[in-house]
């Protein structure tokens, strides 16, 4: 009997927000009592409104914030993130990345690859195939940026290779 291929994962695009913008957003919302008006947020962040929206959406994808109506609220996890030291922030970010289908899929691909490394072109081709309406270069940059901050993925720009951050994933089971 022929082995069935697993169904293709449903990957979702990621907002093109820098980690620093996401962290800044969380800190600003925390300074406002863990909630603020969405429209006032952009000026507090000193970001163009569209960029502020991307940072808010990124925080939502990571389950660090939610946006009922015109409010931006920190989730309990978002409050824990803001209160954490830099290393704990990275651990929380790492855990949240693993729950995002796009990151889970790429981590699984890398886990199966020789040396847990793949050329960037392979990752870019997968992204283009699964998310044809998204600008692949921007999506790739976002994935690398978030993955490096959360110590889930690494990137060697000289070799143009993406790799699984073995040290952080090996100790993951030991974390609470």
pLDDT tens over the chain, length 176 residues: 444 444 567 888 999 999 999 999 999 999 999 999 998 888 888 888 898 999 999 999 999 999 998 899 999 999 999 999 999 999 999 999 999 999 999 999 999 999 999 999 999 999 999 999 999 999 999 999 999 999 999 999 999 999 999 765 444 444 44
pTM reported for the whole predicted model: 0.87
Q: What is the C-alpha separation between 156 and 99, in angstroms, rounded?
A: 24
The pLDDT of residue 4 is 46
Question: Which residue intervals of the chain bear CATH 1.10.10.10?
Answer: 19-83
Q: Supply angle C-alpha 147, 152, 154, rounded to 5.
A: 70
Is CATH 1.10.10.10 what the domain over 19-83 is classified as, yes or no? yes
Which CATH number describes the domain made up of 87-174? 1.10.10
**Residues 172, 7, 166, CA angle at the centre, nearest 5°?**
20
Look at residue 176 in the predicted model and tell me its pLDDT: 40
Do residues 146 and 163 make contact, with C-beta atoms less than 8 angstroms apart? no
CA 158-160-161 angle, to 5 degrees, is 115
8 Å CB contact between 141 and 120:
no
């Amino acid at each position: 009997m022929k082995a069935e291929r697993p169904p293709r994962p449903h990957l979702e695009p990621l907002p093109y927000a820098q980690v620093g913008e996401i962290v800044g957003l969380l800190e600003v919302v925390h300074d406002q009592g863990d909630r603020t008006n969405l429209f006032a947020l952009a000026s507090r962040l000193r970001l163009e409104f569209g960029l502020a929206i991307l940072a808010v959406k990124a925080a939502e994808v990571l389950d660090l914030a939610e946006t009922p109506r015109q409010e931006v609220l920190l989730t309990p996890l978002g409050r824990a993130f803001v209160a954490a030291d830099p290393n704990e922030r990275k651990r929380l970010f790492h855990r949240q990345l693993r729950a995002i289908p796009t990151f889970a899929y790429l981590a699984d691909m890398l886990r199966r690859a020789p040396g847990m490394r793949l050329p960037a072109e392979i990752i870019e081709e997968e992204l283009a195939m699964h998310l044809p309406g998204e600008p692949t270069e921007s999506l790739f940059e976002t994935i690398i940026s978030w993955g490096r901050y959360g110590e889930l993925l690494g990137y060697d720009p000289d070799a143009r290779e993406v790799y699984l951050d073995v040290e952080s994933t090996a100790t993951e089971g030991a974390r609470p």
